[in-house]
Amino acid sequence: MPAESLQIGLIGAGRIGQVHAASLASRIPAARMLMVADVVEDAAQACARQYGIPQAVRDYHALLANPQIEAVVICSATDTHAQIIAEAAQAGKHIFCEKPIALSLGAIDAALQAVEQAGVKLQVGFNRRFDANFRRVRDAVVRGEIGQPELLHIISRDPAPPPLAYIKASGGMFLDMTIHDFDMARFLIGSEVEEVYVAAGVIVDPAIGEAGDVDTAVILLKFANGTIGTIENSRRAVYGYDQRVEILGSAGAIRIDNNHPNTAVISTADSVHHDLPLNFFMTRYTESYVAELAAFVEAVLHDTAVLVSGQDARVPVVMGLAARMSYVEHRPVRVHDIPS
């Protein structure tokens, strides 16, 4: 018989850690948080008080040493993910980790090897796979409702750029923003991307270029099954968080539009309009954050496969590295040519 609840430790009490703490505390009955760790101990203690977590610590090793904890949710800084995954695996804990695992393939592979050797489960936080809109697109492809996919178009635009300090540490737009779209592309089409070609530049903010990154890009994808895809990214959409997808198939098409705070439509003699779309990723994807954690808890309790594996998390990083190479070298790059 599966256990009734999963005993969880949270590592990282920052913005996304708070989101996951709220889900685990009030939206997922089969989850029970025992400890929270954060390098800023005050943040850990505040999180513990808000969400009724019994113990808060500064050092996550105390959490890994707790024999009652069966699984960890890693929401710490990106450059700590791979090490914590390896240590959690060695401690026998099942692992949910925010993306990316790491910015280098060597670090990713070492973490994945530790997980495999320990025989624990690892799910990575590509939450958009759990969004109802994107899931409906994937279902349409799987069911053959639109025939064979031929063209994919993904639009992903942020309301405003993140702080420069974040950009300098994130690995760049292709590995912190487009990485979600790379994952969505292979998830929706159900085929691997073989070639990437990028046209990108600095249009929104010169400081982003000075930091060594780009803020605007169009990315062409060629899939193994023949589908051709495009991803359009911008760090600035003044009207809100712009998240749209369209697939054209041999027997039809499917499209999803932005989420809005309401469905009201105002019609006057001058115009027909509705309110602006949601303006922040955490409000746009609130339910998907709950759903991904619920799926992880279910997979551990019932010993089933996780829905976003370590390999699923590795491939978008490879695609991001290929995109960067394409931008720098002004040429198409085959994904298999990226060195491991």
Are the C-beta atoms of 129 and 135 separated by less than 8 Å?
A: yes
158/110 same-domain check:
no
Can you list the positions of beta strands (E) in the chain?
6-11, 31-37, 55-57, 71-74, 94-98, 122-125, 149-157, 193-201, 216-223, 228-234, 242-249, 252-256, 266-267, 272-273, 333-334
pLDDT digits (tens, 9 = 90+) for 21-56: 999 999 999 999 999 999 999 999 999 999 999 999
Token couple for 226: 């023949």
In which band, very low, low, confident or very high, does the pLDDT at 2 lie, cut at 50, 70 and 90? low
Q: Is the pLDDT of residue 288 over 70?
A: yes
Does pTM surpass 0.75? yes
Mean of the per-residue pLDDT values of the chain:
96
Are the C-beta atoms of 285 and 273 separated by less than 8 Å?
A: no
Q: What is the CATH number of the domain that holds 244?
A: 3.30.360.10
pLDDT digits (tens, 9 = 90+) for 154-207: 999 999 999 999 999 899 999 999 999 999 999 999 999 999 999 999 999 999
Q: Is residue 228 in some structural domain?
A: yes
Structural domain for 33, as ranges: 6-120
Last residue of a domain, one of 100, 120, 140: 120
pLDDT digits (tens, 9 = 90+) for 274-285: 999 998 887 889
pLDDT digits (tens, 9 = 90+) for 129-140: 999 999 999 999
